[in-house]
Structure 1
Amino acid sequence: MPSLDQALRAALHNRQDLITELHQQGTDCYRLFHGSQEGAGGLTIDRYGEQLLVQTFHQPLSRDDLLAAHALICSHLNQPLLLVYNDRSQGNSRIDRTDPVYQAEPAALADLVGHEWGLNYRVRGRHAGQDPLLFLDLRNARGWIKAHSAGQSVLNLFAYTCGVGLSAAAGGAREVVNLDFAEGNLAVGRENGALNPQLAPMQFVQSDYFPAIRQLAGLPITARRGHKLPPYPRLEQRQFDLVLLDPPAWAKSAFGTVDLLRDYQSLLKPAILATADNGVLICCNNLAKVAMADWREQVLRCADKLGRPVRDCQVLPPAADFPSHDGQPPLKTLILQF
């Protein structure tokens, strides 16, 4: 087993061409060390603009190892980066905010700006949630959408901080609708929009996924057994030219349960119905235990049952800063052309 220093040096060497390419395309947000595949399980090191975000999920780093990794990366990139260390080895991957190993400087925790595909994104090393404000493994999908959204109506489901919507707006979409249950996520999406004032305004819908997508798809809304339907925004039935479906692994509400392992179809079916004829649905599954071949078959079978057979199905892998030794990365993305 190589030392962390050796593993990190190898990872930086392997990324050199990619980092050059990313900088040329206007991107300074990327993964520098993917520990599960590069020799240190449970450790990730990501760059977000001026910030270096180090996270541990299995056990904390020592202060010496943390500072040595920071110094090595700054030297390799020939740029000082503000260090934030989030130890998430406690229960439910929650950040240990007591910072027993390292306390970030105030400048590192201030509101910063990172860049991807030439767009500006809000960066915060710490915020009310647990995860970073931009998921880096979806960068290739955002790039694809930016390149294929001109003149399209775009629906961004489980929008989080609306990076997909921002990419669509930058690509010339005529309409962008971001849908997410959490107002805090959409608030960051609005910030991202404000950081790119040259783009057309986006729309934001705060709603549980199930009532929103079922209304758009023309399906009835039902509550989980024993639950009364809470209020929800009313939406008209309609279809979009380009739809992005990137759900969390699991979530439960009064309207239903998001469960990527046992019931992806309940998410997928209405998303297909909300996609226009000759439209595109990009769907994601981030469960490592789900094999691409099995999930792809399930997705195509669901479309066939709905009478919406897929004319073309393309696999979109994450970029090279998310290596996978077995060719089965946790994040799986399919581009479905109807």
Structure 2
Amino acid sequence: MTISDIQKHLEENSKDLSTEFKRLFHGRGELYKGWKHLSVDSIDDILSVALYFEEENEVELIEMLKSFVASSRHKTIVLQRRYIKGSPSELIVGELADDLFVVENGMKIKLNLLSNLNSGYFPDMKNGREFVKANSKDKSVLNLFSYTCAFSVAAMLGGAYKVFNIDMSKSALSTGRTNHHLNDIDTKSVSFFSYNILKSFSSIKRKGPYDLIIIDPPTFQKGSFEATKDYRKLINKLEQIASEDCTLLACLNSPDLEAEFIKELIKELAPSFMFIKRLENVEEFQSEDEERSLKNLVFQRSKIIV
């Protein structure tokens, strides 16, 4: 695929754009030979571009993006070079508002496109948030590894009567509060706790039981969580904090761990939870190998009849 081909791809995928977020080019799905290091997103009138390793034709790529923007709804280009230490972001064209947010199915999420870390928004989780919104009515929701609390916003918009957000990062939780306010949500029924989840089980248990539990951990975060060994610790405690008819959304974004990894843990350590389905991934995040992409698995607790 040439840079000219990428421009044609962007133009084709831009025909139905609105103010809502849309991924225009998902190289990381490895469907486009030679471009697995490139992603391009449309965020209202912003084109957000990420390079995951150095592109030898970067100058030509940037010129193509400028040409594309000149004839599209976009006014701004932000480029993040993820291959450089600190993952610096650069404003190539236009300007950014201070109070920037992304829109997803009408829900607003605060965005920091010039952050040298994550922007505060994970677009591939869109279908997971839709599931939570559709299954939160009158429920007590536990949102583990909540980060900026987008799941919590979805739960409250879906009618949850209370939500408990747990994350080690106080700054992420602070952004989480902002996300609720952006959506005109009264936070008197929403809690934000800066806990180390693996070391705070007794505190989490006291606030239960929970009717809907979301587990969306990082694959690996030094000193905090390592999926291959720490997911087991969470599942081992699951039945102690879950209501009798609890729904579980267990998320896994490791390319090296398949869905069976979670299914086997549940079968062994929380057998009252039955596997229901795997949520489909967002269409524009299609991958050559779905087992290497995001895995959102739904389980339902049921009473075991002896």
TM-score (norm 1): 0.79
* Paired residues of 1:169 and 1:176 also in contact (CA < 8 A): yes
* Paired residues of 2:54 and 2:83 also in contact (CA < 8 A): yes
* Residue of structure 2 equivalent to 1:206: 194
* Residue of structure 2 equivalent to 1:45: 40
| 1:241 CA displacement | 0.6
Structure 1, gaps ≥5 residues long: 218-235
Aligned pairs for 1:137-216 within 5 A: 137-198=124-185, 201=188, 202-216=190-204
* Residue of structure 1 equivalent to 2:304: none
* Paired residues of 1:43 and 1:54 also in contact (CA < 8 A): yes
Q: Size of the alignment, in residue pairs?
A: 296
**CA 1:125–1:34 in 2, change beyond 3 Å: closer, same or farther?**
same
* Paired residues of 2:147 and 2:173 also in contact (CA < 8 A): yes
| 1:272 CA displacement | 4.3
* Paired residues of 1:7 and 1:38 also in contact (CA < 8 A): no
**CA 1:177–1:294 in 2, change beyond 3 Å: closer, same or farther?**
closer
Query: What letter corresponds to residue 192 of structure 1 in structure 2?
Result: N
**CA 1:213–1:30 in 2, change beyond 3 Å: closer, same or farther?**
farther
* Paired residues of 1:245 and 1:271 also in contact (CA < 8 A): no
Structure 2, gaps ≥5 residues long: 302-306
* Residue of structure 2 equivalent to 1:230: none
| 1:189 CA displacement | 0.8
Residues 85-125 of structure 1 deviation map (CA, whole Å, 9 limit, x = unaligned):
1101124xx3135x5xx6464x3263312211211121221
* Paired residues of 1:169 and 1:200 also in contact (CA < 8 A): no
- Secondary structure at 2:228's aligned position in 1? coil
- Structure 2 distance, partners of 1:331, 1:294, is 13
TM-score (norm 2): 0.87
Over aligned residue pairs, what C-alpha RMSD do you find? 2.5
Aligned pairs for 1:1-338 within 5 A: 2-10=1-9, 13=12, 15=13, 28-36=20-28, 37-39=30-32, 40-60=35-55, 62-72=58-68, 75=71, 78-91=72-85, 94-96=86-88, 99=90, 103=92, 105=94, 107-108=95-96, 110-127=98-115, 130-198=117-185, 201=188, 202-217=190-205, 236=206, 238-253=208-223, 257-304=224-271, 309-338=272-301
* Paired residues of 1:95 and 1:130 also in contact (CA < 8 A): yes
| 1:198 CA displacement | 4.8
- Secondary structure at 1:283's aligned position in 2? strand
Percent identical among aligned pairs is: 23
- Structure 1 distance, partners of 2:6, 2:217, is 32
* Paired residues of 1:150 and 1:172 also in contact (CA < 8 A): yes
| 1:252 CA displacement | 4.2
**CA 1:272–1:53 in 2, change beyond 3 Å: closer, same or farther?**
farther
Identify which range, 174-183 or 266-275, moves more after superposition.
266-275
